Amino acid sequence: MPLERRRVDYSGRVQGVGFRFTSQRLAQSFKISGYVRNCDDGRVEVVAEGETAEIDSFLEAILDALGDKIHAARSESLTPGEPGLHGFEIRY
């Protein structure tokens, strides 16, 4: 199956509540690569690459775990494989 890469920007009360650590822990249950990071404007950015169903399930798990903190999410498709992602990490 072809790979997809998706970026999701979450806004709300998403910084200082364990969002990055929870996202990284959840990612371990899915066949995805990527990262999560805090943005200077208060958003949290998640970039995930893998099969579409895996990404969808991962993002649903984030909503299940952290949905009460999220007020909005904006999703964008990116070109997969550029640059390469390995594992799922927290970026600072």
Which residues carry out catalysis? 20, 38
Helix (H) or strand (E) holding 8: strand 4-12
CB atoms within 10 A of CB 16: 9
Cis ω on the peptide bond leading into residue 2 (within 30° of 0)? no
